Each structure stands twice: as C-alpha cells, then as structure tokens.
A = this chain, B = another copy of it.
Amino acid sequence: MTLPTHVKLLDVGPRDGLQNEKANVATEHKAQLVAMLQDAGLTEIEVTSFVSPKWVPQMGDNAAVMAAIERKPGVRYSVLVPNMKGLEPALASRPDEILVFTAASEAFTQKNINCSIAESLERFAPVIEGAHAAGVKVRAALSCALGCPYEGDISADQVEAVVQPLRALGVDAIDIADTIGVGTPRKVQAAMARALKHFPLAEVSGHFHDTYGQALTNIYASLELGVHSFHASVAGLGGCPYAKGATGNVASEDVVFMLNGLGIETGVDLDRLVDAGAFISGVLGREPVSRVARAVLAKRG
C-alpha cells in the first residue's frame, strides 16, 4: 500500500489547544507561539476564535492576537467563527480561512451549541456566504465523528448525513474530528471514506484526539486511504474537556516523528517544534504532553 509522500499539518494549539487550557495566556505569548510554530515550518496555524468572551474568555483577545502575529508568506492562518456575530470581526482580522463547527451527534450539538444539527447548518449558510464574498475559504469541523460523550457510538451513516449537506452549503474543506478520542483504525477509515465521497481528497482532514492513545494509528489508517491533511496541537495543548486529567489533541511532535519515520514530508523541523512546545508548556507551568517532546527533552538533558 502506497502512502502519500507529503502531509499538510495544521497546528491547532493556539486556538483549540489554549481554548481548553485553564490558564489565561498573554497575547504576546500567543503571538510568540505562532511565530515559533511557523519558524518550525508549520504552514497552517489555527490562531484564535471569534466566539463570545463570555463563553470562552481565553480567546477574548482574538483581534489583538491576529494583529500581533507576524505573518509569514506561505503560511495560512485560520480562525474559528461560531456565527454571524463573529464573522465581521473575524474577517476584519484578515484570516486565510475560517472554521465553522457542528457535530455528527445530535445530542452533542444540542449540548455544545444549543441547537439541532439542522439548525447549525442553517446558521452556517450566511457565514459561508459572507466568508466567500470576502474571498476567504471555509472549513467545517465535524465533531464527534467517531463517538459522542452523550450518544456513544456514531456510525458512518451519521457522518455522511452531515458531510453531504455541509458540502452542498459550499463548505470548502472538512475535518473529521474524533472529539473524545475513541476512534480506532477501521472505524476511522469508514468515516473518512464517507467524507471522501463528497469532498476532494486534498480537502479532507483528520483531527484526532489521543485520549485513548489511538490518534497516531488513526492518522496512519487515514494515510492508507490517501488522506494527507491532519491536525495536531503542539505539546498536546488542550487536554480533554470530557475526562479531567485525560489527554486531548494529539501532539504535533508525535505526528511529525511518525511521518518522518515513514519518509513523508511535512516541512516541519522536529527540534524547533519541540522548542515551541517547551516554550508554551513553560508559560503554562507544566510539561509537554507529547511523548516525543518528553523523550527529546530528556535526551537533551
């Protein structure tokens, strides 16, 4: 089986990671993290979220962060936009891409964004239109695509039932997100296959959580289908909101180590990535959650 020769890695640490950390990180430290990530070779970075600071105070400095980053040619910066209210300030911050999110689980969508899946799609329509009118690409995250903290198992049929209308709405790219980390290779391949029925190969990403240690295997299983776009969070920033003390986003360092071993190009320098993770972990006052980072730092002594 031939694997892809290149992988596009999107680091979600500054947004998805820091949003789920208790500590409030200073704007300048967020900008420095972005700088270190792009210096390490990342070309896709999820920077911040234009959600209400009432709900997510950690992202209250969204516009300031976007203003503070030093944009590097060839790097694409994305921001999360939950609704029309967030669209205007988001577009004003000049992102290359916006991220909207829904879920494959009805129960999760109700609890997380307080509406049905169908209603979440209706809300997307003007957001997508507005972004496209401004020449900004729209990516959709499909949370709970492998399992739900409330519903349990999620089937490939449920995945496709949301993927299809997302594409019909004009969404450019889709993230198959294993929000609680319960996916295993065959189930991941089944979900990915459904996404690939509706989106081009280059526009389907895997967003895996390592809560049960399965993320790298799920990336490998996705590579076997030709998928070559993945999300990861430097230093494993974020944790798991559904199980205190458990792991959340897969660590970027661990993903890069595997891809290096497989001879797959990412353009990322592992040592500098470890530096970026060590920096932000220092700001948070803890160790990186990445196994690779720990091993590399232990070897550095």
Contacts and interface: CB of A to CB of B under 8 A. Distances in A.
Contacts of A185: 220, 258, 261-262
The residue in A184, A214, A217, A258 that gathers the most chain B C-beta atoms within 10 A of its C-beta is A217
A298 B213 contact: no
A257 interface: yes
A295 B258 CA distance: 23
B295 A246 contact: yes
Contacts of A243: 294-295, 298-299
A155 to B, nearest CB: 14
Interface residues of A, number: 39
Nearest to A260: B184
Interface string A229-270: 000000000001001111100010010011011110000000
A46 interface: no
A291 B183 contact: no
A290 interface: yes
A298 B214 contact: no
A184 B291 contact: no
A246 B216 contact: no
Contacts of A187: 261
Interface string A181-199: 1111111000000000000
Interface of A: 1, 181-187, 210-214, 216-217, 219-221, 240, 243-247, 251, 254, 257-258, 260-263, 290-292, 294-295, 298-299
20 contacts: A184-B260, A185-B262, A186-B262, A187-B261, A211-B291, A212-B254, A212-B291, A213-B213, A213-B254, A213-B258, A213-B290, A213-B291, A213-B292, A216-B217, A217-B219, A220-B220, A240-B295, A243-B299, A245-B298, A246-B295
Closest 9 pairs (CB-CB, A-B): A184-B261, A213-B291, A243-B298, A213-B254, A246-B295, A217-B217, A216-B217, A217-B220, A243-B295
